[in-house]
């Protein structure tokens, strides 16, 4: 078991700063997901922890021990690569066995170790194959087995599901959390897929341009994104973003949407009079009858089933396009005129200029299954 | 496969045949000449039908060259042995030095690494004759003239840059992640070099070694200047066939046949290995 601590890490390539004074702590046994667009520095960060590249500044502590200047082979971490990085000239068995061989384990220990992890990952029948004879899914499992076989206290997984097909990715997304929990290892998991991040992470660190923009539980990231960018990255269909200018009347703070006043929680008092962007999750919108309070007239444009929900594209009277989602099976809405209501408690307000979310602590608990 | 018409296939066959004839003709002609006497070779017009003789080969192997003006000693077998020894040892030394150097240049960008690599390559640009004169003087001072060690050393000018630059490319083609994975698994950098980099660059190393061998084998001018009769390779030794009583075409042909046999055999053997190893294929998903 090992915690991981990164202190003020700086990494530059030529004049470009890839990681900018980054500090991060991963508790023993925790799974931290590094999420962000490509070029955010996630992979570089993982490699720094693994010890195959060195930071320009800062310290890396594994299990409380300073590992900054320790060579990769002595750090005792396990790592799975996005492109699998299998040894093409070795069989799957030999690939998986390499961490055990490095410890000079006996042949029987190696055999037992490889076979048990292979069984766990359901690749027992292809152990004699060379990597080129394996399917993508088998390659990915072999790479994972190689990372797991030595039972490393710290596991680094660099987008291991990136290069496998959608079906397998779904399967592994279900399988991995249990697999990782059983191992009890501390895990740093890199991904660009927000669903993977939500499904696997105890906490998620959202990175962009070498900086951690937000660190929190999946629920926090989804419910209280630090800025517009993060709000846009998490959630499918994407959050609706509309330019608004909050105002105040007798009943409190409100924004005008299609000439209807939508009142916001009192915590948004500070936003009055500023140019803002309101973020409305598609599931926070619902179709209502014309007479309902706060009903906004819209025109239904198109409807698309998306897995477990149905997404409707509607157009407001001002011509702005909005996505509304509802669980599959819920009563539909005929094309043409309709009305929607906003669950204003879950509305997010961002500053238009900076993109930062305007402070509000009205987190309503995440309804089950909505995020995933 | 694309569908090809009969006409296209015939035309392709004809074109291939022409190319093969064009390239193979000199070799076949030399092969035939090696079984003829000087008289039949020089007959005009040349004739395809002749009575084959092994006299040229016996002369080479026994080392007794019989000409109109008497019997001459030739050291052809000795020369052939010199060629084999010099080329093999040179390539072995070049591989021993060049492969680790190539790995260093491929994987570690240190200050001046590009300059050093380029300087090594530039040895190939320099005209050999320009280098030879000062080299001869130095070698005579150092006592390296007319020694195997001296020759092998000079042959590094041919072999080392070639191996360094070809093998470096092969090392660079190995994804760094594969080596990282082996390091992270707990192996030292040297184990990674031996167990991962070397096997994966194997075909490249073989190709470079083969090329270096051929270049070393075909070298003429270094050995001509720096070696005397008992150290000379076949390329220089062939001069002995230009005798006072004329050029011994039959023996020259036989000597060529004998001297291209090792390189040809090596190339054929290595080709099989090269094709087998070149398709790594399992790196990317």
Q: A296-306 and A309-316 as β-strands: parallel, antiparallel, unpaired?
A: antiparallel
Q: What is the DSSP letter of A184?
A: T
Where do the H-state alpha helices sit in A149-211? 166-183, 194-200
Q: What's residue A366's pLDDT?
A: 34
Question: Same domain, yes or no, for A35 and A52?
Answer: yes
Tell which residue, A5, A17, A126, has the closest CA to residue A68: A5
Co-location of A198 and A244 in the same domain = no
Q: Confidence band (pLDDT; 50, 70, 90) for B204?
A: confident
Interface contact B44, partner A, CB < 8 A: no
- Residues A183 and A247 grouped into a single domain: no
Tell me: pLDDT of A113 over 80: yes
Q: What is the CA radius of gyration of chain A?
A: 24
Indicate whether B83 pLDDT > 50. Answer: yes
Please report which confidence band the pLDDT of residue A1 belongs to, taking 50, 70 and 90 as the band edges. low
Residue pair A142/A86 in contact by the 8 Å Cβ criterion: yes
A369 domain-assigned: no
Domain C-terminal end among A160, A195, A227:
A227
Chain B residue with minimal CA distance to A165? B285
Under the banding of pLDDT at 50, 70 and 90, the label for residue B276 is low
pLDDT digits (tens, 9 = 90+) for A87-97: 999 999 999 99
Shared domain for A247 and A342, answered yes or no, is yes
One domain, residues A155 and A87: yes
C-alpha separations of B95 from A100, A157, B114, B120, B161 in Å: 32, 38, 20, 14, 10
In this structure, the answer to whether residues A148 and A58 fall within a common structural domain is yes
> Residue B285's pLDDT is what?
30
Q: Which of B177, B184, B197, B199 to mutate to test the interface with A (most CBs of A within 10 A)?
A: B184
Point out the residue among B178, B181, B284 whose CB comes nearest to the CB of A79.
B181
In a 3-state reduction of DSSP, which class is residue B255?
helix
- Residue B55 CA to residue B45 CA, distance in Å, equals 23
Q: Quick one: average pLDDT of B270-281?
A: 58
Q: Is the predicted pLDDT of residue A242 greater than 70, yes or no?
A: yes
Query: Which pLDDT score, from 0 to 100, does residue B273 have?
Result: 64
Dihedral Cα A66, A71, A76, A78, nearest 10 deg: 120
Does any CB of chain A come closer than 8 Å to the CB of residue B199? yes
Confidence label for B263 from pLDDT (cuts 50, 70 and 90): confident
Cβ of residue A164 closer than 8 Å to a chain B Cβ: yes
**B45 upstream amide cis, omega within 30 of 0:** yes
Closest CA to A343 of A276, A308, A292, A270: A292
What b/e sequence results for A144-175 when a residue is b if at least 16 CB atoms lie within 10 Å of its CB, and e otherwise? bbbbbbbebbbbbbbbbbbbbeeebbeebbeb
**pLDDT higher than threshold 90 for residue B119:** no
Q: What per-residue confidence (pLDDT) applies to A362?
A: 40
Query: What value does the mean pLDDT take over residues A217-237?
Result: 89
For chains A and B, CB pairs below 8 A equal: 92
Verify whether the Cβ–Cβ distance A73 to B186 is below 8 Å.
yes
User: Can you say whether residue A345 is alpha, beta or left, with left for phi > 0 and alpha for psi between -120 and 50 degrees?
Assistant: alpha
Residue A371, domain member (yes or no):
no
Q: Which runs of E-coded beta strand occur in B242-283?
A: 242-243, 246-247
Q: What is the SS3 assignment for A92-157?
A: HHHHHHHHHHHCCCCHHHHHHHHHHHHHHCCCHHHCCCCHHHCCHHHHHHHHHHHHHCCCCCEEEE
A218 phi and psi angles, rounded to 5 deg: -55, -40
A360 pLDDT more than 70: no
B interface test, pick of A49, A50, A51, A73 with most B CB neighbours within 10 Å: A73
**What is the residue whose two structure tokens read 């948004």?**
A268
CB-CB neighbors (< 8 A) of A78 in chain B: 184
Sign of CA dihedral B168, B169, B172, B175: negative
- Mark whether A144 and A55 lie in a shared domain: yes
User: What is the pLDDT at residue A196?
Assistant: 87
**Per-chain mean pLDDT for chain B:** 85
The answer to whether B213 and B262 are in contact (CB under 8 A) is no
Looking at the fold, whether A133 and A257 belong to one and the same domain comes out as no
Task: Name all domains of chain B by residue range, CATH numbers in brackets.
Answer: 76-278 (1.10.3720.10)
Residues A237 and A277 in one domain: yes
Parent domain of A294: 229-351
Domain containing A247 — which CATH number? 2.40.50.140
Q: Which helix (H) or strand (E) holds A58?
A: strand A57-62
| Residue A40 located in a structural domain | yes
Instruction: Please check whether residue A194 lies inside any domain of the structure.
Output: yes
Q: Tell me what pLDDT residue A165 has.
A: 80
Q: Are A310 and A325 in contact (CB under 8 A)?
A: yes
Are the Cβ atoms of B177 and A81 closer than 8 angstroms?
yes
State the Cα–Cα distance between residues A3 and A187, nearest whole angstrom: 9
Distance, in Å, from the CA atom of A15 to the CA atom of A18, rounded to the nearest integer, reads: 9
What's the rounded Cα separation, in Å, for the pair A206 and A198? 12
pLDDT value at B156 more than 50: yes
Residues of B within 8 A of A50 (CB-CB) are: 180, 184
Q: What is the mean pLDDT of chain A?
A: 86
* Residue B282 with chain A: CB contacts under 8 Å: 86, 88, 130-132, 134, 139
Residue A64 has pLDDT above 60, yes or no: yes
Three-state DSSP state, A166: helix
Region of poorest pLDDT, from A348-357, B51-60, B69-78: B69-78
Tell how far CA B150 is from the center of its chain: 19
Residue A151 lies in a domain: yes
Residues 6+ apart with CB under 8 A from A81: A143, A158, A160, B177, B180, B181
Helix (H, G, I), strand (E, B) or coil at A254: strand
Q: Is residue A370 a part of any domain in this protein?
A: no
Task: Say if residue B223's pLDDT is above 90.
Answer: no
B-chain CB neighbours of A131 within 8 Å are 282
Strand-pair partners of B238: none
CA distances B79 to A286, B49, B62, B259, Å, are 94, 32, 13, 10
Q: How many CB atoms neighbour CB A260 within 10 A?
A: 19
- Sign of the alpha-carbon torsion through A209, A211, A216, A217: positive
Distance from CA of A197 to the nearest CA of B (A): 22
Contact A71 B281 (CB under 8 A): no
Regarding whether A246 and A165 lie in a shared domain, the answer is: no
CA angle A115/A116/A122 to nearest 5° reads 80
Dist CA B92 CA B73 (whole Å): 32
Domain co-membership, A65 together with A181: yes
Q: Which of residues 224-283 of B touch A (CB under 8 A)?
A: 279-283
Q: Which of A89, A130, A163 has its CB closest to that of B200? A: A89
pLDDT for res B69: 66
CA angle A23-A362-A316, nearest 5°?
Answer: 105
Nearest CA in chain A to B108: A53
Residue A356's SS3 state is: strand
Q: What is the mean pLDDT of residues A138-147?
A: 91
In tens, the pLDDT along A124-142 reads: 999 999 999 998 889 989 9
Residue A365 in this model has a pLDDT that exceeds 60: no
Residue of B nearest to A81 (CA): B177
Cα dihedral: A227, A233, A235, A238 (round 10): 90
Give residue-wise pLDDT tens across range B229-250. Answer: 788 888 888 888 877 777 888 8
A132:B280 CB<8 A: yes
Residue A41 counted as domain residue: yes
Interface check for B190 against chain A (CB to CB < 8 A): the answer is: no
- Does A32 have pLDDT greater than 90? yes
Determine the 3-state secondary structure of B104 from DSSP: helix
Q: Determine, for residues B282 and A75 on separate chains, whether the beta-carbon distance falls below 8 Å.
A: no
Residue A68: which CATH number?
A: 3.40.50.300
With a cut of 60, say whether residue A186 has pLDDT above it: yes
A contact residues 25-84, partner B, Cβ 8 Å cutoff: 47, 50-52, 71-79, 81, 83-84
**Mean pLDDT, rounded, for A204-208:** 91
A91 part of a folded domain: yes
Of B183, B200, B281, the CB nearest to A52: B183
Query: What pLDDT does B280 receive?
Result: 45
Q: B185 — contact with chain A (CB < 8 Å)?
A: yes
Single out the residue in A177, A196, A227 at which a domain terminates: A227
| Pairwise CA distance, residues B285 & B283, whole Å | 7
pLDDT at B10: 93
Write the burial class of residue A70 (CB in 10 Å: 0-12 exposed, 13-18 middle, 19+ buried): middle
Instruction: DSSP for A261-325, please give it.
Output: EEE--GGGGGGTTS-EEEEE-GGGEEEE-TTSTT-EEEEEEEEEEETTEEEEEEEETTS-EEEEE
My answer on whether A83 and A49 are in the same domain is yes
- Domain count within chain A: 2
């Amino acid at each position: 078991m090992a915690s991981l601590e990164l202190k003020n890490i700086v990494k530059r390539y030529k004049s470009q700063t890839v990681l900018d004074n980054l500090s991060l702590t991963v508790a023993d046994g925790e799974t931290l997901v590094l999420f962000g667009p490509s070029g955010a520095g996630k992979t570089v960060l993982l490699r720094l922890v693994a010890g195959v590249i060195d930071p320009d500044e800062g310290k890396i502590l594994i299990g409380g021990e300073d590992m900054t200047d320790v060579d990769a082979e002595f750090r005792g971490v396990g790592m799975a690569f996005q492109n699998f990085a299998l040894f093409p000239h070795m069989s799957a068995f030999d690939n998986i066995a390499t961490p055990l061989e490095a410890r000079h384990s006996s042949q029987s220990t190696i055999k037992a170790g490889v076979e048990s992890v292979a069984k766990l990952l359901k690749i027992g029948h292809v152990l004699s194959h060379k990597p080129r004879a394996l399917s993508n899914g088998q390659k990915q499992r072999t790479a994972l087995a190689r990372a797991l076989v030595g039972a490393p206290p710290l596991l680094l997984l660099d987008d291991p599901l990136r290069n496998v097909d959608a079906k397998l990715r779904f399967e592994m997304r279900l399988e991995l959390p249990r697999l990782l929990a059983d191992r009890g290892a501390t895990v740093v998991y890199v991904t660009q897929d927000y669903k993977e991040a939500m499904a696997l992470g105890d906490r998620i660190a959202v990175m962009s341009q070498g900086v951690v923009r937000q660190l929190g539980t999946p629920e926090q990231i989804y419910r209280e994104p630090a800025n517009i960018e993060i709000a846009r990255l998490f959630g499918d269909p994407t959050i609706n973003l509309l330019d608004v200018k909050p105002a105040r009347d007798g009943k409190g703070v409100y924004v005008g949407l299609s000439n209807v006043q939508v009142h916001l929680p009192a915590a948004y008092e500070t936003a009055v009079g500023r140019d803002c962007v309101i973020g409305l999750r598609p599931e926070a919108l619902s179709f209502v009858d014309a007479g309902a309070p706060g009903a906004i007239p819209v025109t239904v444009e198109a409807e698309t089933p998306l897995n477990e929900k149905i997404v409707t594209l509607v157009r407001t009277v001002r011509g702005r396009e909005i996505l509304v989602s509802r669980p599959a099976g819920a009563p539909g809405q005929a094309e043409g005129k309709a009305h929607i209501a906003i669950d204003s408690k879950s509305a997010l307000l961002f500053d238009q200029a900076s993109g930062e979310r305007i402070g509000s602590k009205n987190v309503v608990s995440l309804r089950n299954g909505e995020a995933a | 496969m694309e569908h090809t018409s009969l006409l296209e296939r015939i035309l392709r066959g004809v074109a291939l045949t022409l190319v093969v004839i064009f390239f193979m003709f000199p070799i076949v002609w030399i092969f035939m000449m090696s079984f003829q006497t000087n008289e039949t070779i020089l007959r005009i017009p040349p004739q395809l039908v002749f009575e084959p003789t092994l006299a040229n080969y016996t002369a080479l192997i026994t080392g007794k060259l019989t000409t109109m003006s008497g019997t001459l000693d030739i050291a052809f077998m000795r020369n052939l042995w010199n060629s084999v020894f010099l080329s093999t040892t040179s390539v072995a030394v070049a591989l021993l030095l060049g492969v680790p150097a190539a790995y260093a240049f491929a994987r570690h960008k240190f200050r001046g690494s590009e300059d050093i690599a380029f300087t090594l390559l530039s040895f190939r640009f320099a005209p050999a004759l320009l280098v030879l004169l000062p080299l001869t003087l130095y070698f005579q001072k150092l006592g390296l003239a007319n020694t195997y060690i001296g020759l092998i050393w000079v042959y590094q000018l041919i072999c080392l840059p070639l191996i360094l630059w070809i093998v470096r490319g092969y090392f660079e083609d190995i994804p760094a992640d594969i080596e990282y994975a082996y390091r992270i698994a707990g192996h030292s950098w040297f184990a990674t070099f031996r167990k991962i980099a070397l096997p994966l660059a194997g075909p490249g190393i073989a190709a470079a070694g083969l090329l270096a061998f051929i270049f070393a084998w075909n070298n003429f001018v270094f050995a001509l200047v720096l070696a005397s009769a008992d150290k000379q390779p076949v390329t220089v030794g062939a001069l002995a066939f230009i005798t006072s009583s004329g050029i011994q075409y039959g023996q020259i042909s036989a000597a060529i046949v004998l001297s291209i046999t090792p390189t040809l055999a090596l190339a054929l053997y290595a080709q099989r290995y090269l094709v087998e190893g070149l398709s790594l294929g399992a790196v990317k998903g």
